[in-house]
């Protein structure tokens, strides 16, 4: 077994210290690599990123998912360079954003109109506002463990340490008004019986059900999404798919196409911006029309604006990305590479004799250290998080970078990348504490 021999430069050590001084926790989000695996990114190209010390990593973070074409794809770079020569942003309707709206509506089964935002958090927030406007109801139902961004409603039971009995929510951040707790109901993913009971009890108060069709890593069980669609339709409650992750990833038409279930509204992001800040709410003309400024003063107007909404550079990058995804065989390649890596990982954890399994879809998956069937958040929570963090740390030391519980695939991950990744995983698994699978 090869040991990692990857020295950190004095300059990178200094930069990490400066980051710790000026950035809370020294990071930009909620996850922090172990001290001996931390690094500072200098640049990226294709499936790789490079740190300030000159070390190379095969990248399965991909900027948290937008870079389905990899880093600095020539088509995206060319589109951005061409657009930026005409200005960086306008705060007005522009040709690239019109073209992107048209492409989204062609691709997404639920979409007739689009409202752009800059982040996925905004997209899910405004999708809920659309639902409340249409239904004239305030409550929403979301699923325990579902992540829909960082606004107050989405941060209810997104990752509760001590979950309550359903449908009571748990706020997952300080600073959320207690009053929000009375407006959010929580249900278990993949449990139609419990969901139907909650909706039937609260249908007269509910505006919408918000769901990630692929909840983080947990795939929907057969019939779950269709059952959810049937229940919400029967009770007149809107169904919102959070497709910020799944949009243009599972298929060109997103989870709606991949799983064959069409929601009333969808929030999309990540891939659609080609690596730039862009997201959107999309739905029928009937649901989306309250965004029209002509409704101002009617009592049903949805006020929504943002300095960078409809940014032409992001639109150009998104259009270039989608053009690559429309090429014949793109999704076969994306899924095929993912399936090979999933199969290899499954074989490795089996040989290691660990209580572990590979969970997700071929475009987005990871190893969870549990032998319990993973069908909902509580099953994920019972997996060995410490072992997962150690595994992630050992991979980073060996030149493979991923989030703590997610690996994104791209069109540029090569067979050589897969082989190198599997060797790194094999070596990393060998140094983990042995917690054997149940007999």
For 302-360, how does the pLDDT look when each residue is reduced to its tens digit (9 = 90+)? 999 999 999 999 999 999 999 999 999 999 999 999 999 999 999 999 999 999 999 99
Q: Which pTM value belongs to this model?
A: 0.95
> Residue 268: its pLDDT value, please?
98
* CATH code for the structural domain at 74-325: 3.40.640.10
CB 264 within 8 A of CB 238: yes
User: Residues 219-234: what's their mean pLDDT?
Assistant: 98
Percentage of residues in the chain having pLDDT higher than 90: 93
- DSSP conformational letter for 295: G
What the block records as the tokens of 58 is: 């095969």
What the block records as the tokens of 265 is: 């509204």
Q: Find the helix or strand (DSSP H, E) in which 139 lies.
A: strand 139-143
Judged against a pLDDT cut of 60, whether residue 294 lies above it is answered with: yes
For 48-102, how does the pLDDT look when each residue is reduced to its tens digit (9 = 90+)? 999 999 999 999 999 999 999 999 999 999 999 999 999 999 999 999 999 999 9
> Residue 73: its pLDDT value, please?
98
> Residue 147: its pLDDT value, please?
95
CA-CA-CA-CA dihedral for 318, 324, 325, 330, to nearest 10: -160
Beta strands in 23-109 (DSSP E): 41-45, 48-51, 56-59
Judged against a pLDDT cut of 80, whether residue 41 lies above it is answered with: yes
Q: Which residues are catalytic?
A: 147, 242, 270
Judged against a pLDDT cut of 60, whether residue 198 lies above it is answered with: yes
CA-CA-CA-CA dihedral for 316, 319, 320, 321, to nearest 10: 120
Other beta carbons within 10 angstroms of residue 17's beta carbon come to 10
Say how far apart CA 130 and CA 135 lie, in whole Å: 9
- DSSP conformational letter for 436: B
> Residue 1: its pLDDT value, please?
37
140: β partners: 184, 208
DSSP per-residue string spanning 340-382: HHHHHHHHHHHHHTBS-EEEEETTEEEEES--S---SHHHHHT
What rounded mean pLDDT belongs to the chain? Answer: 95
User: Residues 401-426: what's their mean pLDDT?
Assistant: 96
Q: Where is pLDDT greater, at 330 or 34?
A: 330
Q: Could you tell me where in the chain the CATH 3.40.640.10 domains are found?
A: 74-325
Which residue's structure tokens are 């993913």? 189
């Amino acid at each position: 077994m090869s040991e990692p021999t990857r020295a950190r430069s004095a300059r990178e050590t200094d930069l990490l210290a400066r980051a710790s001084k000026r950035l809370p926790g020294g990071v930009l989000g909620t996850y922090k690599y172990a001290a001996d695996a931390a690094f500072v990114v200098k640049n990226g190209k294709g499936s790789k990123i490079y740190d300030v010390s000159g070390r190379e990593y095969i990248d399965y973070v991909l900027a948290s998912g937008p870079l389905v074409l990899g880093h600095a794809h020539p088509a995206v770079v060319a589109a951005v360079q061409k657009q930026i020569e005409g200005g960086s942003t306008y705060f007005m309707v522009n040709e690239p954003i019109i073209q992107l709206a048209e492409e989204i509506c062609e691709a997404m089964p639920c979409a007739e109109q689009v409202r752009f935002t800059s982040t996925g958090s905004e997209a899910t927030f405004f999708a809920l506002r659309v639902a409340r406007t249409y239904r004239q109801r305030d409550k929403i139902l979301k699923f325990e463990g579902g992540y829909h961004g960082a606004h107050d409603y989405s941060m209810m039971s997104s990752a509760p340490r001590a979950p309550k009995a359903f449908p009571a929510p748990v706020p997952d951040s300080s600073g959320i008004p207690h009053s929000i707790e009375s407006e959010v109901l929580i249900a278990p993913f993949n449990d139609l019986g419990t969901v139907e009971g909650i909706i039937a009890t609260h249908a007269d108060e509910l505006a919408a059900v918000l769901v990630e069709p692929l909840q983080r890593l947990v795939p929907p069980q057969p019939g779950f999404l269709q059952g959810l669609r049937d229940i919400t339709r029967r009770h007149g409650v809107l169904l919102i798919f959070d497709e910020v992750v799944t949009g243009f990833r599972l298929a060109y038409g997103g989870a709606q196409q991949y799983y064959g279930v069409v929601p009333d509204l969808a929030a999309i992001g990540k891939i659609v911006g080609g690596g730039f800040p862009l997201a959107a709410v999309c739905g029928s003309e009937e649901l989306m029309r309250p965004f029209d400024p002509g409704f101002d003063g009617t009592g049903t107007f949805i006020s929504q604006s943002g300095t960078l909404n409809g940014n032409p550079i992001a639109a150009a990058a998104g259009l270039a990305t989608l053009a690559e995804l429309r090429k014949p065989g793109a999704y076969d390649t994306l899924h095929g590479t993912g399936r090979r890596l999933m199969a290899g990982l499954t074989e490795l954890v089996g040989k290691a004799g660990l209580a572990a399994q590979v969970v997700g879809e071929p475009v987005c998956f990871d190893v969870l250290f549990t032998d319990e069937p993973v069908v909902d958040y509580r099953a994920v929570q019972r997996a060995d998080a410490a072992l997962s963090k150690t595994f992630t740390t050992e991979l980073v030391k060996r030149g493979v970078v991923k989030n703590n519980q997610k690996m994104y695939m791209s069109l540029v991950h090569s067979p050589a990348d897969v082989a190198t990744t599997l060797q790194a995983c094999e070596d990393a698994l060998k140094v983990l504490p042995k917690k054997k699978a149940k007999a």
